[in-house]
Amino acid sequence: MTDKRNLEIVIVGAGATGLLIAQGLTLNGIKATVYEREEESTYHIRPREWGMTLHFGQEYLAKCIPSELMARLGEACCDTFYTGKHTSWPMFNGQTGEKFFDMQGFNPLRVSRRKLRALLSDGLDVRYGCKIVSVSQANGSATATFADGSTATGDLIVGCEGVHSYIREALVGRDKAANSPIDVQMFNACWSLPADAALLQRKAHPIFRIGYHPTGMSWVTAIQDVKDPDDPSTFLFQQCLSWPGRPHAEDFPDQQSKIDFIKSKAEIYAEPWKSAGRNVPPDLPLQVDAITMWRPDMDWSSSPLWPHVTLAGDAAHNMPPFRGQGLNNAFQDAEKLVSELSEVAKGDKTLEQAVSAYEEEMKARSLKEIEVSLMQTRMVHNWDTLMSAPMFKAGMNAYRDEVKGNLETASGGEVNGAK
C-alpha cells in the first residue's frame, strides 16, 4: 500500500483514444486535461472525414464513460437514423458481385470519426491550439511544452497523437519511432451519389460491404452520413480503394490522374462499386495514403521520461486497418490505463507499477494483433491467398490462438503487385 494520491494527468491528442482516457479518469475522480494541436475552429469541421468499425471495443467504452453518455452512442453512428443490429459485415467478389461470406463481429457499429469525437468530448476540459514541441521530466512529474510557449505539468503525460506521435519519438528516439511502410496504397474519401446509385449502395447491406478483386484490389463502400433518410441524394458514402505496390503517391501527377484511376477501377468492378466509382466528383480532394505500421517491440523504461510518460492508441501501436482493430484496441488501452491509474489514486499501486502493468499488457496484446493485421493486409491484397486470410477464422474479433497456424505459414508472404 502507498498513500492515496490526487493525480493530475496530461493527455496530448484529442482523438477518440485521448478523449476516452480522459472520460474514464474523470469518471474515477482523477483530474485529466486534454491538449489538442488543432484550433477549435477547425477541429470539429475538418474536411477529411471517415468511419470506423466499433465492435469488441464497446465493452471497454462502456467502462470508461457515464451510463448516460453510453446511452447516446447512437449519436456517433454514421447513420443516426438506422436502428438495425448486425453480427457481421458482408464480403464480396468485387468482379462478379457474388458474396463470399459474412465477417463475424460483436454487434459491429460504423461510427463517424467526427461524431465520436464530439460525443467523447462531452464534459471534458479540452485545450485547443496546443502543438507539443517538447516534453521533460523532473521532480516526479512530467511537463509538456507547446508551440505558443505554454506548458502543462502532470504526474503522467499520455501521448495519444496518432501515428505520427511526437511523444513516441521523445520516448524511444526518432529512429525507433519511425513507422514501417507496408507498400499498400489507399484512397480513403467520401462523396455523395445520385439517388439511384445511393440506393444501390445500400441494397446489399445498409451499412458496409467490401469487394475483393482478382487484381489484388480491395474496395470498401460504407455509409458515412445521412442528412435526410427520405432523400438518398443526401447520403454520404465512404469509399476506400486499396491496392498493393504501384502506383505510389508520386505516380499521380495531378488531380485528373487520381480521378481517372478510380474510374478505371470502377469499370472492372461489379455493382455497387461500379456506380460509386463512376460518380466520383472531379474536384474531390484525394490523398494517396501509404499504409504503415509501428510495433511497440522495445523496452522504453530506460528513458529518462519514464514512468511519467506513456503512449496509447495509434501512437502506441499503428496497425494496418484491414481487420478493423485499431479503434477497438485503442479503447482497450484506455480502459486498462484508467484501471491502473485508479489503483494509484487509491494508494494500492505506485505510478511506476501501474504504468509498467499497463504497458506490459498493451504491448503483448497489440504486437499479436499487428502481426495478424499485417498478415490480413498481405493476404486480402493477393487473390491466391484471400480465402486463407485471418478474417475467415477470427472475423473482426480480437486475436485468438486459432489463427496462429495461419500466421506460421502466411506471415512471411509478400503482397502481389496490382494489375
Residue whose C-alpha cell reads 516526479 in the numeric block: 140
Kindly indicate the confidence band of residue 85, based on its pLDDT and cuts at 50, 70 and 90. Answer: confident
Contact assessment for residue 243 and residue 261, using Cβ atoms and an 8 Å cutoff: no
Which of 38-47, 69-78, 146-155, 270-279 has the weakest average pLDDT? 38-47
- pLDDT, mean of residues 360-367: 98
- pLDDT, mean of residues 257-277: 99
Flag whether pLDDT at 317 surpasses 70. Answer: yes
Can you give the pLDDT at residue 409?
45
Amino acid present at 156: L
Residue 201 CA to residue 273 CA, distance in Å, equals 8
Kindly indicate the confidence band of residue 392, based on its pLDDT and cuts at 50, 70 and 90. Answer: confident
Flag whether pLDDT at 316 surpasses 80. Answer: yes
For 117, list phi and psi in degrees, rounded to 5: -60, -40
For the chain, domains (ranges, CATH) are: 8-77+111-180+293-384 (3.50.50.60)
Secondary structure letter of residue 307 according to DSSP: T
Flag whether pLDDT at 195 surpasses 50. Answer: yes
Structure-model confidence comparison of residues 189 and 405, the more confident one: 189
Alpha-carbon distance values, 157 to 35, 152, 186, 345, 355 (Å): 10, 9, 33, 16, 11
Secondary structure letter of residue 398 according to DSSP: P
Q: Residue 355: name the closest of 162, 124, 157 by CA.
A: 157
In what order do the strands lie in the sheet containing 151-154? Answer: 132-138, 141-146, 151-154
pLDDT above 70: percentage of residues in the chain: 94
Residue 367 CA to residue 315 CA, distance in Å, equals 13
Which of 79-88, 98-107, 122-131 has the highest mean predicted lDDT (pLDDT)? Answer: 122-131
Contact assessment for residue 85 and residue 107, using Cβ atoms and an 8 Å cutoff: yes
Secondary structure letter of residue 190 according to DSSP: E
- pLDDT, mean of residues 151-170: 98
Can you give the pLDDT at residue 414?
40
Can you give the pLDDT at residue 402?
43
Can you give the pLDDT at residue 334?
99
C-alpha cell at 352: 511506476
Kindly indicate the confidence band of residue 324, based on its pLDDT and cuts at 50, 70 and 90. Answer: confident
Q: Which residues pair with 189 in a beta bridge?
A: 239
Structure-model confidence comparison of residues 69 and 412, the more confident one: 69
Q: Residue 22: name the closest of 135, 122, 105, 136 by CA.
A: 122
Flag whether pLDDT at 377 surpasses 60. Answer: yes
59-74: per-residue pLDDT in tens? 999 999 999 999 999 9
Computed over every residue of the chain, the mean pLDDT equals 93
For 306, list phi and psi in degrees, rounded to 5: -80, 145
Can you give the pLDDT at residue 406?
46
Neighbours of 66 (CB within 10 A): 13
Structure-model confidence comparison of residues 324 and 138, the more confident one: 138
Contact assessment for residue 78 and residue 218, using Cβ atoms and an 8 Å cutoff: no
103-141: per-residue pLDDT in tens? 887 789 999 999 999 999 999 999 999 999 999 999 999
330-357: per-residue pLDDT in tens? 999 999 999 999 999 999 999 999 999 9
Can you give the pLDDT at residue 265?
99
- The DSSP H or E segment spanning 395 is none
- pLDDT, mean of residues 382-387: 93
Burial zone of 414 (CB within 10 Å; 0-12 exposed, 13-18 middle, 19+ buried)? exposed
Residue 334 CA to residue 323 CA, distance in Å, equals 20
